[in-house]
Chains A and B, each alone.
Chain A
């Protein structure tokens, strides 16, 4: 059965710290992996990683994909209180599948 596992489930850090969020997956025929930030209700898109794009960076956020070991990490440097949110990882299991499989998310709290 296809599955996506995120760790840790929750994390509390202080402003300025660097955090690493993990996403491992087991899917039939990997196509892409998405990272989202969910602050209140709407998940907002952060990154898409695919076979042709295994590393992405935007400001203080960066992500890599390891297709051999079947995992991705999301790094946030110099964290700010505004980074407090649930971070969701989603994987598309391949052609002909109409869904993304989401992990349970990592709840990040950044203290001032």
Chain B
């Protein structure tokens, strides 16, 4: 079975541009979470979606938005890019809702490396 897949793997943008990152969860998984990992830091939570509904949002500005589709895939959008948005964006899937299910593991994709110039 395929794991979590993310596209693109690398992306270079300039300040002010907009970007869309894509994620396909493990087959059968209904929850997708997005994390930002700046070089030298641990992943920081951005969003969690379960059954196409936003279930949680981290401390990120409104320039960050996401959605989940009926097939449980997800997109993360970032508008008005800043230099500080340069990071590895990780998508993680889980079978159930991370917030209410007991002991739900996250399975990560390989991420999208975003560079903002």
Contacts and interface: CB of A to CB of B under 8 A. Distances in A.
A41 B111 contact: yes
Contacts of B108: 36, 42-44
8 contacts: A41-B110, A96-B99, A98-B33, A98-B56, A98-B99, A99-B45, A101-B45, A102-B44
B103 A31 contact: yes
Interface in A2-61: 4, 6, 31-32, 34, 36, 40-45, 48, 50
B88 to A, nearest CB: 6
Interface of B: 3-4, 33, 35, 40-45, 48, 55-56, 58, 88, 90, 97-100, 102-103, 105-111, 113
Contact of A102 (B43, B105, B109, B110): B43
Contacts of B56: 97-99
B105 A48 contact: yes
A43 to B, nearest CB: 5
Nearest to B54: A98
A91 B57 CA distance: 17
A88 B42 contact: yes
Contact of B99 (A41, A43, A97): A97
Most B-side CB within 10 Å, residue of A42, A95, A104, A105: A42
B110 A100 contact: no
Contacts of A32: 103
Interface residues of A, number: 28
9 closest A-B pairs by CB: A98-B56, A102-B42, A99-B45, A98-B99, A98-B48, A42-B110, A41-B110, A41-B111, A43-B108
Given A41-B111, A45-B106, 18 more contacts: A40-B110, A41-B110, A42-B3, A42-B4, A42-B90, A42-B111, A43-B43, A44-B108, A90-B42, A97-B56, A98-B45, A98-B55, A98-B97, A99-B48, A99-B58, A100-B45, A102-B35, A104-B42
Contacts of B48: 98-99
Contacts of B99: 95-98
A43 B42 CA distance: 11
